Amino acid sequence: MNIDVDLGVRGYRVVTGADARHGLSNLIASRAPRARAAAIVTAAGLVDRPWFDLETGVEQHVVVVPDGETAKTLAAVEYLCERFVSLGLSRDDVVVGVGGGAVTDLAGFAAAVYLRGIGIVQVPTSLVGQVDAAIGGKTGVNLTVGKNLVGAFHQPLGVLCDTETLETLPGRELLSGYGEVAKCWLLERRDPATVGASSREEFVALAVGLKAAIVSADEFEQGRRALLNYGHTLGHAVELLALARDPEELRHGESVAIGLAFAARLAFALGRVDADVVRAHDAVLDAFGLPRHLPAGMATGQLVAIMQRDKKARHDLTFVLDGPVGFEVVTGIDTEVVADVIERFRGES
Ligand SMILES: NC(=O)c1ccc[n+]([C@@H]2O[C@H](COP(=O)([O-])OP(=O)(O)OC[C@H]3O[C@@H](n4cnc5c(N)ncnc54)[C@H](O)[C@@H]3O)[C@@H](O)[C@H]2O)c1
C-alpha cells in the first residue's frame, strides 16, 4: 500500500507491505537521482537476518551501530558522521536507516546534521518503527539526563515498512508496537471485535495512514499532532517508574496501553464520555493482548509528580481525552481529580 505524507517539497511516500524493501533502489533512483553511494546504518543483530538483502542500486556500505536505546547517543552521531566522511558521502548521497526506532532515530539525526543535512530513506524493521518512529521526521538522540533531548525534524525521502521483516521480531517487541496500533484503533473508533480478524499488514497500514494524515496537517506539532500522544501522559509516568526498578518490566507500548485505559476512565470521570467508551477501550486492549491495569507499587503522588513534569504538560495536568466533540487536548485538569481516578484505577487491578 502507498501512503503519502503530504508536505509539499518535503513530502514523501510510505510503502507498506510484505516486500516493500525491494523498492529501495527505485526509491533512491527517483528521490536522490544524483546519489552515487548509500550508507546503510543498522544494528549488529540485524545484518544476518534473512530479510537483510537490501539493494540500493548505488555503491553501498553497511555501517553498524550498537543495538537499542544505548545506540542513541551524541557519540554515536559523531561516529556515524566520521564514517560518512571516510566513505566519501556527499550531499547528493543517501543514508538508509534499517532497524528499530532507536536506529531510525539515530540514523535520521546523523543524516539531518551531516553536511547540514543529506537525504535519508527509512526502512523500519520493528513494529514501533513501522507504525510510529520512522514516520513524521522526528529524529534524535538521548542525553544522560533524559530521552530524545537533542534532535531535529528531518523528513525522509521515503519510508519502506516491510512487514516480512517483522517475522524475526521478538514477541515482546511486537506487543510494544501493538500499544501504538491500539491507540490508532481507538482514535479511529474502530470496532474492537474486528481486531482478531485483521492482519499485521492492516495494522501497519492503519497506523501509518493515521500518522501520515496528522503529520501532513501539523508537521511541527503545533496542534493536531499532539493527538498522537493519546495514552502517553500516564503511559510515560508508568514507563519511567517501571524503568527505574526493572528495565524489562514494561515496553513503551505496554505502558501506553495502560495509559489508554486510564485516559478512558479519566474522560468518564470528567463526564466527557459514557461507560461504553471505557468498555470499548478495554475490549481493544484485550484484543491486542495488552496490559491495562496499573502495576503494583506505583504511588499516586509519584505518578502525578512525573506527569506534571511531562514536557507536554503546560500549567496544570494536560491529557488527550475523548469527549463530545471527539479527541482533543484538554488542559487545566485538576490534579485532585486525576489522583482520585488513579486510586480507583488501582482498585481495579
Ligand atoms: N521519532 C519518533 O517519532 C519516534 C516515535 C516512537 C518511538 N521512537 C523511538 O523509537 C525507539 C523504540 O523503538 P523500538 O521499539 O523499535 O525499539 P528498538 O529500536 O530498541 O528495537 C528493539 C529491538 O528489536 C530489534 N529488532 C528490530 N527489528 C528487528 C527485526 N525485524 N527482527 C529482530 N529484531 C529486531 C532491535 O535490534 C532491538 O534489539 C525509542 O528510542 C523511541 O524513542 C521515536
CATH number, position 325: 1.20.1090.10
pLDDT tens readout for residues 160-183: 999 999 999 999 999 999 999 999
Provide the number of structural domains found in the chain.
Answer: 2
pLDDT tens readout for residues 278-311: 999 999 999 999 999 999 999 999 999 999 886 5
Mean pLDDT over residues 318-331, rounded? Answer: 96
Decide if pLDDT at 343 tops 50.
Answer: yes
Domain identity same for 128 and 276:
no
Range of the domain at 343: 222-347
pLDDT tens readout for residues 238-290: 999 999 999 899 999 999 999 999 999 999 999 999 999 999 999 999 999 99
- 316 within a domain of the structure (yes/no): yes
User: Which pLDDT band holds residue 314 (cuts at 50, 70, 90)?
Assistant: very low
The predicted pLDDT at position 16 comes to 98
- 157 within a domain of the structure (yes/no): yes
- Catalytic, 249? Answer no
**CA dist list (Å): 122 to 9, 38, 145:** 18, 12, 27
Q: What is the Cβ-side half-sphere exposure of residue 176, based on CA atoms within 13 angstroms?
A: 21
User: What spacing in Å lies between the alpha carbon of 337 and ligand 1's midpoint?
Assistant: 35
Mean pLDDT over residues 125-146, rounded? Answer: 95
Mean pLDDT over residues 203-229, rounded? Answer: 95
Kindly give the pairing relationship between strand 2-5 and strand 12-17.
Answer: antiparallel
Last residue in a domain, options 129, 150, 168: 168
Global pTM reads 0.95
- 200 within a domain of the structure (yes/no): no
Domain identity same for 19 and 121:
yes
Asked if residue 289 lies in contact with residue 279, where contact means CB atoms within 8 angstroms, the answer is no
Amino acid at 274: D
Decide if pLDDT at 315 tops 70.
Answer: no
Domain identity same for 152 and 282:
no
Kindly give the pairing relationship between strand 317-321 and strand 328-333.
Answer: antiparallel
pLDDT tens readout for residues 56-83: 999 999 999 999 988 899 999 999 999 9
User: Which pLDDT band holds residue 185 (cuts at 50, 70, 90)?
Assistant: very high
3-state secondary structure 146-212: EEEEEEEECCCCEEEEEHHHHHHCCHHHHHHHHHHHHHHHHHCCCCHHHCCCCCHHHHHHHHHHHHH
Asked if residue 134 lies in contact with residue 122, where contact means CB atoms within 8 angstroms, the answer is yes
Which cell goes with 342? 488513579
- Ligand 1 atom 15 nearest Cα: 128
Last residue in a domain, options 168, 183, 207: 168
Site residues for ligand 1, CB cut-off 6 Å: 43, 45-46, 49, 67-69, 72, 99-103, 105, 125-126, 128-129, 132-133, 136, 138, 147-148, 165-166, 168-169, 173, 176
Domain identity same for 68 and 161:
yes
Domain identity same for 164 and 228:
no
The predicted pLDDT at position 316 comes to 79
User: What spacing in Å lies between the alpha carbon of 242 and ligand 1's midpoint?
Assistant: 18
Atom of ligand 1 nearest to the CA of 127: 16
Domain identity same for 8 and 131:
yes
Decide if pLDDT at 150 tops 90.
Answer: yes
CATH number, position 119: 3.40.50.1970
The predicted pLDDT at position 310 comes to 61
What is the rounded CA–CA span in Å between residue 259 and residue 257? 5
Last residue in a domain, options 104, 134, 168: 168
Mean pLDDT computed over every residue of the chain: 95
Amino acid at 14: V
Domain identity same for 302 and 226:
yes
